[in-house]
Structure 1
Amino acid sequence: MTIVVQYPHHAASGAPRPLSAEALWAVAAQVRRQAMAGCEGFALGAEALVAAASEVRANGRAVAVAWDLAHPVHDEAGVPVLGVCETDPELPDTALVSVNARMVAGRPDLAASTAAHELGHVLFDVPAALGTPARRYRSVTAAPDALLERVTAASERRANEFMGALLAPPVPLHLRLLVHARAEGLRTVHAPHHGRQGSRVLAADNPPDAVAGVVAAVAGDFGISEQFVRVRVARYRLVQGGLLP
């Protein structure tokens, strides 16, 4: 299947122009609609994502994606990493993406977030890299929390923000959060946010144990970790004051 996306870019090189978080969420929404066409539920797993993205077309530039989810992965120094995205002049118009099978074993949430992060590199970094003669190599650190952090490198921040919105987009996440919050009788308030407009957000003074139960339920809905939910809720401002207790 081919994933087709459009975003502001430099026509000559294919490199993305500076993209706001909201712009990255919009690209993630394009991908999610295509990858989940005909699927039920809210979770987008690694296997479904890989099946949907055997090729991408970013702003008209076609890139074949060769995925490997079956082997260990290391960086150029031999250190184990969660995943890598490579381009090689000897394989034109191709992105080589690997997810470390050993490190994500038993963690479908980590497999999905790693695959989504690497797909972000394919969409935003590979189109420009294909026009250069040198081999390009990008790796994800061995620490799972790195996929949730706003790390320094612009390309890593971009891939992380894309990944977060792809697996847990603002409006669906907001709606499921409210469904579980109402079932638990949690209090909601009106406040600015990036979710479903007109809907409330969680109040800051709800019992922490009840909130934790809601977070766990939402994590189950989307096939992600509870920490992932907390990060996305903060990014979308879905709780009064910004952070869940």
Structure 2
Amino acid sequence: MKRLIATFALTALCTATFSLVAFAEDVKIGAGAAPSENVLKPIAQPLLKEGISLYVSSSGPKNAMMDLERGVVDAAAAGLTFQDWLNLMKKEGHEVKDPASLQWTMIGKDKIVALVNKENPVAKLSKEQLQGIFSGKVDSWKEVGGADVPVLIVWGKLTSGTNSMFANKIMDGKEVTKEVIETMTAEDIRQNVASNPSAIGIGPLAVLDGTVKQVESPEIGRDIILVTKGKPSAKVQKVLDFIKGEGQKYIKK
């Protein structure tokens, strides 16, 4: 009898979950690292109760904007101001054709942090030291108070918003070295740094989870915005309303 009751309870739970998904409206959002990790992924499950199935493509701000223009996604999000986003698109050879047709809303705030392996004894890096490391001038941790081992830089191809903001705030025109471990998303950066004692990377604050440590460094704050073509659709507006309301308790700050 107990097994029958447990089976019935499990079936009821699965049926309820299926019902939520089956009757939910789909909302597709292309996004960079900051909105994905800080805002959109944390609210995806709670949004099901509001009748919204949120699909997040962590494709980076460039691809997200291109997908929005093509109508592949309902909205795009990035950890950049709107003008910085437009500048980034132009720099990468994909200038936005009709910026006036786009409407943006701020959905959060984020900080960009420097991530190192938990075994790395370095606890603090100045702006000048970060410049030296990421330009390739500093190639051993010994030069900044660490062990006598090579510095390995992990760099994300799909974190262009993070990369652009870091370059603007920290690098002062110096180019990031080409000698990097190239990966894709902020999560990939975290995993690579966690598994390599010599590695360093940058990412949104939300990517910190105990497997890596944050180095004390100059603060890089940024806005997180969501962009739509014209006025947000009714279902996208539901997402925005949730973010500004009940969703605040799920968003990482």
Give the TM-score category using the shorter length.
Answer: under 0.3
Q: Which structure has the larger Rg over C-alpha atoms?
A: 2
Q: Which has the higher contact order (CA 8 A, sep 6+)?
A: 2
